[in-house]
Amino acid sequence: LVGAAIHSPAHKQEKKMKKTAMLAVAAVFTLVACGKGSLAKDFGALFEDATKDLNAIAAELKGAKDAKAVASALNKVYDTMHTMKTKGAELEKKHGMKAKGAMPPELKEKNEAFQAAVKNVFSGETQAVMQKFAASPEVLEALNKIKSLKG
């Protein structure tokens, strides 16, 4: 039964969702690659805010008792990732940059915390709760919104 859950459509959807979330922020990761000074400060704040929001959403998901609560939390994931993507583009424009190379050392810890928060939203207890309600139309709609962030 445990093996069946791992290969269920819900599990595959969760796996896709995690990849989509990571793709949504990949642009932000590359944007910060050569930042210094205020740029690192700006992107650092962006990472911190998103990390805080995603950790709160993970806690909300763990306590979700129905599909409506799961969908609400997933819509918050979408909002957080969309905001991060949008603000990242704004910061790129503000700092006039097209970044290449490695992430600045001063952002490494914030980046790692952010990545851990993304993982926290899409694994363990939260994944189990999402799988339980994955067939619900409102949850599927929320998942599709997250998938739309790819581009």
Query: What pLDDT is recorded for position 108?
Result: 85
Bin 98: left if φ > 0, else alpha if -120 < ψ < 50, else beta: beta
pLDDT < 70 stretches in the chain: 1-37, 97-103, 151
Query: What pLDDT is recorded for position 140?
Result: 93
Query: What pLDDT is recorded for position 41?
Result: 87
Which pairs count as long-range contacts for 63-71, CB under 8 Å and 24+ apart, including other chains? 64/129, 64/133, 66/133, 67/133, 67/136, 67/138, 67/139, 68/138, 70/129, 70/130, 70/132, 70/133, 70/136, 70/139, 70/142, 71/133, 71/136, 71/138, 71/139, 71/141, 71/142
Count of Cβ atoms closer than 10 Å to residue 63 Cβ: 10
Residue 125, SS3?
Answer: helix
Query: What pLDDT is recorded for position 59?
Result: 95
Mean residue pLDDT of the chain comes to 79
Residue 142, SS3?
Answer: helix
pTM to 2 decimals?
0.74
